[in-house]
Structure 1
């Protein structure tokens, strides 16, 4: 009898454990996605986790965030604290100046800043925002997956940034008057940006009073034609696709990077904060997936005695682009996911067994 009781308890615990992975069933999936400054209009529903954080007084988007479960939004601490008393949050929105049939609104119930957040350096610039009430997921409102602790992003990983920040920003002077020439978009903007190593990013920011820490991630092109987040894009998500799921790797910070040449966008590195996020979200934890992006290192040592193939078969579909290797999330990159089917099966059998003892 004691063994049966223990078995029942274990079954219930494993069932609860399986429930903690439920966000992985829905996170990072954008049914209408087939894929800022220098960007283009996003199609409706292509980024269903993107959250518009609006000033009730100004009635424009002042920064962004990402939905990570039905109750919580991830954003930058700087973004939230600047307008905390007047925030209106829009989910499912594509157009900020016209009615959108898919959007809903929420206010803020609670904000949790990272305890080591530093406004002057922007280190640990991350905040959790609790919505005033839960949202129901639709094709236009869905959570994003988050990069898990230990994720690796080598230089060149294709990433995307979204936001309603300025699409044109130019500062000129006329006499003693400073003139700012800028445009705000109506439609949510998207732009593709490759990951830049922290080392190269630090070189780009050398002498600008910015320190790139291990808690940061960089993306963009090191050239004059800046493409990336601009003013009012703060707090928005940087995402990459692995398999069928989109994973948030960064949070936009330093959204004034568009004002200078030859620098990249800077983002808070989400994978550094898995434990902190899980500590503050007790139910329906976000879906964390480990990303292990590496570019294959070519063998540059020539074969001293090459043997030619006497009957070479030409490749009917030659691909000039090097293959990028992404791990199967069920084959070693995420141990918790491997346990999910086993724990769920065992718990169901345990509970059925309990009914007959």
Structure 2
């Protein structure tokens, strides 16, 4: 594999030269033929998954499409308001305050935390000012991995030349070229300073580790992809019995979890587990927190047909206002600020029943569902008049993909303004995955004032 090959580059020399990689991974498409023929002039030939299966990435000031003619400062290559200054047959970018990099493309908040595995910034130079190669560069891949399996990941590696740390090294790095030699080096990227009290400063931005596969009709969740997912667990009051998973929930602040009202059971000890994926084993990434108080909505009501105002807040036990600690695997989801359009695709997650497991899955699962219009969902053959404005439907009217028992209280998250918002809580439905019986969710936008009043009035 490409990154294990990186490890073989002359141990002890961090600017060591690469060896040839396994020929069996060669990509048999027309892109490499074009790249080998030197079609890209003063540029880098990269492989793509669409015809003509290659693209020229020109070295400034050479211009696309073939990188053979150059133009100084027209168009301006400098980003973020940088000023292009001609210097003979080359140019320099005069960057505004706070920006750096050859093209002023690195912003003031561009930094990495821990070992930089979650780094998604724009630094594209090594610490010795070598320009990074694109991860889908023909030069890297001609004897390496299949780019259409390993490199088309928009959240990490991809068709770009930004520094990343995909193999657990000590900080972000990249490949660069020295003549015909492939080398790698650490990048000119700074480590973030984490001021005290700045945890959970952002919400709704997952940092998944890697993709895995095959809620009802769902897929296994990659580590870090649903970092706000909570397992609500209960046991008999003051007993020594083991805690058992009862419902899902969603972390919205360090000390606050949102869940369904029907998940709250009186005279029970409750705890939540965040950061974990498996119910049958303890993950090293998980955090377990006691529930200090459960706040059920005052107008919560059950009927034979539906559950109304199905929402509750859990106040967690912590120290000095800190309960859950933010990590790559533990983050908050944002609260929505507006209604989202019908037909939008969103994600549900939980440990509910699957085709293979009537009583739930031990591994967290996720599935995509569509927001269904209120008009459609209140039709007689769907749910009729039992549906109120505090609920909505999501799923697929033909059935097949749905949330099921065990997922109650878990999140339905959607993209809004480039972050993940908790738009719904798994509430109720007519069995699992039935035609014309999609899942019914608590409409979180209906309860924003209630959530705000409770969390502000009872700060831990």
Point out where structure 1 has 5 or more consecutive residues left out of the alignment: 1-21, 170-180, 286-357
Change (3 A) 1:23 1:119: farther
How far is 1:93 from its partner? Answer: 0.8
How far is 1:114 from its partner? Answer: 1.2
**TM-score, normalising length from structure 1?**
0.64
Choose which of 105, 113, 136 in structure 1 pairs with 2:296.
113
SS at match of 1:191: strand
Structure having the higher Rg: 2
> 1:38 is matched with which residue?
217
Choose which of 265, 270, 279 in structure 2 pairs with 1:96.
279
How far is 1:112 from its partner? Answer: 1.1
How far is 1:88 from its partner? Answer: 2.4
How far is 1:153 from its partner? Answer: 2.2
Higher relative helix content = 1
Choose which of 328, 334, 344 in structure 2 pairs with 1:139.
328
> 1:244 is matched with which residue?
418
Choose which of 252, 276, 287 in structure 2 pairs with 1:68.
252
Contact kept, 8 Å, 2:216 with 2:355, in 1: the verdict is: yes
Contact kept, 8 Å, 2:378 with 2:384, in 1: the verdict is: no
Contact kept, 8 Å, 1:49 with 1:143, in 2: the verdict is: yes
Question: Structure 2 CA distance, aligned partners of 1:53 and 1:46?
Answer: 19
Contact kept, 8 Å, 1:230 with 1:256, in 2: the verdict is: no
Contact kept, 8 Å, 1:239 with 1:246, in 2: the verdict is: yes
Is residue 264 of structure 2 the alignment partner of residue 80 of structure 1?
yes
Contact kept, 8 Å, 1:28 with 1:145, in 2: the verdict is: yes
Choose which of 185, 201, 214 in structure 1 pairs with 2:377.
201
Q: Deviations over 1:279-317 (max 9, x none)?
A: 1112899xxxxxxxxxxxxxxxxxxxxxxxxxxxxxxxx
Change (3 A) 1:210 1:98: farther
How far is 1:29 from its partner? Answer: 1.0
Point out where structure 2 has 5 or more consecutive residues left out of the alignment: 1-197, 236-240
Higher RCO, Cα 8 Å, sep 6+: 1
How far is 1:199 from its partner? Answer: 1.5
Q: Deviations over 1:267-287 (max 9, x none)?
A: 0000011111111112899xx
How far is 1:110 from its partner? Answer: 0.7
Contact kept, 8 Å, 2:425 with 2:441, in 1: the verdict is: yes
Choose which of 375, 394, 398 in structure 2 pairs with 1:219.
394
Question: Structure 2 CA distance, aligned partners of 1:241 and 1:85?
Answer: 35
> 1:156 is matched with which residue?
343
How far is 1:212 from its partner? Answer: 0.7
> 1:126 is matched with which residue?
311
Change (3 A) 1:234 1:256: farther
CA RMSD of superposed structures (Å): 2.6
Contact kept, 8 Å, 2:208 with 2:225, in 1: the verdict is: yes
Question: Structure 1 CA distance, aligned partners of 2:458 and 2:285?
Answer: 24
Q: Deviations over 1:34-69 (max 9, x none)?
A: 890000100011100000012345754221100000
Question: Structure 2 CA distance, aligned partners of 1:58 and 1:255?
Answer: 29
Is residue 167 of structure 2 the alignment partner of residue 167 of structure 1?
no
